[in-house]
A = this chain, B = another copy of it.
Amino acid sequence: MRIRGSWRDCHPRSGNTKSIVLFDPAVPPRLSFLVFSYSLTSLLLPLFVNCLPSRVQRFIVQRLQEELKAKPGSLPFDEILYCNIGNPQSLGQLPITFFREVLALCDHPAILDKAEAQGLFSADSIKRAWQILDQIPGRATGAYSHSQGIKGLRDTIAAGIEARDGFPANPNDLFLTDGASPAVHMMMQLLIGSEKDGLLCPIPQYPLYSASIALHGGSLVPYYLDEETGWGLEVSELKKQLKEARSKGITVKALVVINPGNPTGQVLAEENQRAIVEFCKQEGLVLLADEVYQENVYVPEKKFHSFKKVARSMGYGDNDLCLVSFQSVSKGYHGECGKRGGYMEVTGFSPEVREQIYKLASVNLCSNISGQILASLVMSPPKVGDESYESYSAEKDGILKSLARRAKTLEDAFKSLEGITCNKAEGAMYLFPRIKLPEKAIKAAEAAKTAPDLFYCRRLLNATGVVVVPGSGFGQVPGTWHFRCTILPQEDKIPAIVSRLTAFHKSFMDEYRN
C-alpha cells in the first residue's frame, strides 16, 4: 500500500495542509496575514496531469532550447525530440482535411452560399456543414448550447456509438465536454464526498485520475497491471485490492479502466472485459471506462470493444451496471488536442443522478461548440460514396499505419538494449519500457536526491535532447523503474531517436554497470 499511502498523505484535508505566506518578508507586515491555502494544488506535483516534465525539467528543456538557438552546435544534439506528450499535431501530424473543412464552414457560415466556396471545400463538407447548422438552434454557432451539448450533435454521436457497438445509444445519456478531462473531473466530483470514498485505479496510470481524486479529496485504491502478461488486468488483483480497501473502511465507489492503456499501451481482450463487467456488477461499482484511444489499435490480433458493448452483449442493461465511457477528439488518428472536444456516455444512472450531473455540467455553461461539432464528426466520419471518403481514408490509414510502424520500431529498439524490457504497444500512443538500473546508478540518483527513473530521464535529456516521462509520474511496482515514450514524433525522426537513445543507454550502462 505504499503508493496509496503516499497519495493519502497528499490529501489536502488529511491534516498535513501547509499554508504559505503570499508575499516576501520585505513586503509590509500587514499583508503577511494574507495566507493562501493552496496546499491542495502544491501537492499535485508528483501527479502532474499534463505529463509535462516537472518544473525543473521544464526549465531544463527551455534552457536547452535557448542554447540551441543562441549557440547552434554547442550541444551534443541539434534539436529537442519530444516523446513526452500525447500531442500529435504539435509534432507535425496534419489534421484530417474533412474535419477542418466542416469546422471552418461552421465558423463562418456566411460563405456557404458563395460560389468560391465550392472551389475551396469538398461538396460533402459543405453538405455536412449545412446539416450541422440545421441541428443548432437558430444556426447559432456562437450561442451557449444545452449544457449537455447540442441535441442534434448528440443524436449524431449516439448513432455513431450504435454503429460501432451494435447496441442502442441514447443522446440524453451523452454529455459533451471540453475534452475527456473535464468529464472525468465531473464524475469524481459526483462520486467523492469524503476521503472515505475510494476509486480503484490502475497502476501505472495516466495521472489525471490520481490528480482528480486528490483534488476532490477522495482515496485512490490502486490495482496493479501485470507487466509480465503484457500489462494484464487481473480480476483477482481487483478483488484483493477491493477487499483490502474495504477492510480499511474505504467505500469503494468505482473502478477506473483505461483501454487501450495509458501509459501501458495494452488492449484488453473481450474475455477480460467480460470478467471486469461481471466484477463491477457483483460488487456494485460504477465502471469508469477511459476509451479515448479506441481508434488507436495497431495489432491485428486485438480489436477495441467498448465496455458498453461488452456489457450489453452479456445481457446487462441499465438496471445492472452504472457505466461511464469517456471519449475525446484529442486522441484517435485525428489527434485534435487543441480543439478540446469529447463526451461521456453515462448509462445506468437514475434520472435524479443524471440531473445532478447535468447541474455540474451547467456550472461552466457548456463545452465549446467547435469541439462539440468535431466530436460529432469523429463519431460520424465520411462514408463510402461521399466525395471526401477516399482522401479521408487515405489520411486516416496513413496516420494509423505510420503509428503502428513507429510503435514497432521503438519497441524493437528498446528491447535490444541491455537491461530494458518492453511490452508491445498494442494500442494508444505509448511505450512503457522497464529499465533494470544498475545498483551504482540507483546510488548516484540517491546522492543527487532524485528518483532513479528521473535521474535516467534527465541524463537522457541532457545528453540527447530526447524528452520522455519517468515512470514515477504514473506509478509503478515499488523498486521497478520505467519511462513513458510516445510513438508520436514524425516517422523521419524515429531513426534519430533510436540512435541517440541507443548510444546514450550504452554509455549510461558503461558508466554505471556494477
**Complex formed: what's the CA distance from A286 to B35 in Å?**
11
A499 at the interface (CB under 8 A from B): no
Instruction: Please state if A107 and B116 are interface contacts (CB–CB under 8 Å).
Output: no
Stretch at the interface among A229-237, A360-368, A471-479: A360-368
A144 at the interface (CB under 8 A from B): yes
A369 at the interface (CB under 8 A from B): yes
Instruction: Please state if A338 and B363 are interface contacts (CB–CB under 8 Å).
Output: no
A119 at the interface (CB under 8 A from B): yes
Give the residues in chain B near A465, CB-CB below 8 Å. Answer: none
Contacts from A to B (Cβ < 8 Å): 12, 17, 19-20, 22-24, 27, 30-31, 33-42, 44-45, 48-50, 52, 55, 85, 87-92, 95, 97, 100-101, 103-105, 107-108, 110-111, 114, 116-117, 119-121, 137-138, 140-145, 147, 178-179, 181-182, 185, 189-194, 197, 211-212, 215, 251, 253, 282, 284-286, 319, 322, 330, 334-340, 349-350, 352-353, 355-356, 359-360, 362-371
Least CB separation from A286: chain B residue = B34
Instruction: Please state if B140 and A90 are interface contacts (CB–CB under 8 Å).
Output: yes
Chain copies in the assembled complex: 2
What is the minimal beta-carbon distance from A123 to any residue of chain B, in angstroms? 15
What is the minimal beta-carbon distance from A196 to any residue of chain B, in angstroms? 9
Give the residues in chain B near A286, CB-CB below 8 Å. Answer: 34
Report if A178-B340 is in contact (Cβ < 8 Å); known contacts: A52-B362, A111-B120: yes
**Complex formed: what's the CA distance from A28 to B31 in Å?**
58
Give the residues in chain B near A253, CB-CB below 8 Å. Answer: 34, 36
Known: A88-B143, A104-B108, A185-B364. 9 other contacts (CB 8 A): A23-B350, A27-B319, A34-B284, A37-B191, A37-B193, A38-B193, A104-B107, A142-B338, A181-B365
Instruction: Please state if A147 and B19 are interface contacts (CB–CB under 8 Å).
Output: no
Instruction: Please state if A144 and B350 are interface contacts (CB–CB under 8 Å).
Output: no
6 A-B pairs with least C-beta separation: A37-B193, A90-B143, A104-B108, A340-B368, A338-B369, A89-B142
Instruction: Please state if A370 and B117 are interface contacts (CB–CB under 8 Å).
Output: no
Report if A338-B144 is in contact (Cβ < 8 Å); known contacts: A319-B27, A363-B49: yes
Give the residues in chain B near A88, CB-CB below 8 Å. Answer: 143
Instruction: Please state if B142 and A363 are interface contacts (CB–CB under 8 Å).
Output: no
**Complex formed: what's the CA distance from A41 to B32 in Å?**
35
Least CB separation from A362: chain B residue = B50
**Complex formed: what's the CA distance from A338 to B176 in Å?**
13
Instruction: Please state if B110 and A338 are interface contacts (CB–CB under 8 Å).
Output: no
Instruction: Please state if A31 and B189 are interface contacts (CB–CB under 8 Å).
Output: no
Least CB separation from A335: chain B residue = B142
What is the minimal beta-carbon distance from A263 to any residue of chain B, in angstroms? 16
Give the residues in chain B near A282, CB-CB below 8 Å. Answer: 30
What is the minimal beta-carbon distance from A488 to any residue of chain B, in angstroms? 11
Report if A36-B365 is in contact (Cβ < 8 Å); known contacts: A107-B107, A116-B119: no
Instruction: Please state if B359 and A45 are interface contacts (CB–CB under 8 Å).
Output: yes
**Complex formed: what's the CA distance from A38 to B107 in Å?**
37
Neighbour of A363 across the interface among B108, B185, B193, B365, CB < 8 A: B185
Least CB separation from A26: chain B residue = B319
Report if A352-B20 is in contact (Cβ < 8 Å); known contacts: A101-B108, A116-B116, A137-B90: yes
What is the minimal beta-carbon distance from A281 to any residue of chain B, in angstroms? 9
Instruction: Please state if B100 and A338 are interface contacts (CB–CB under 8 Å).
Output: no
Give the residues in chain B near A17, CB-CB below 8 Å. Answer: 193
Instruction: Please state if B89 and A100 are interface contacts (CB–CB under 8 Å).
Output: no
Instruction: Please state if A179 and B335 are interface contacts (CB–CB under 8 Å).
Output: no
Instruction: Please state if B179 and A364 are interface contacts (CB–CB under 8 Å).
Output: yes
Give the residues in chain B near A52, CB-CB below 8 Å. Answer: 362
In the assembled complex, 16 residue pairs joining A and B whose CB atoms fall closer than 8 Å, in A order, are: A12-B193, A17-B193, A20-B353, A22-B350, A27-B319, A36-B356, A41-B360, A103-B107, A104-B107, A116-B119, A140-B338, A185-B364, A215-B363, A340-B365, A368-B368, A368-B370
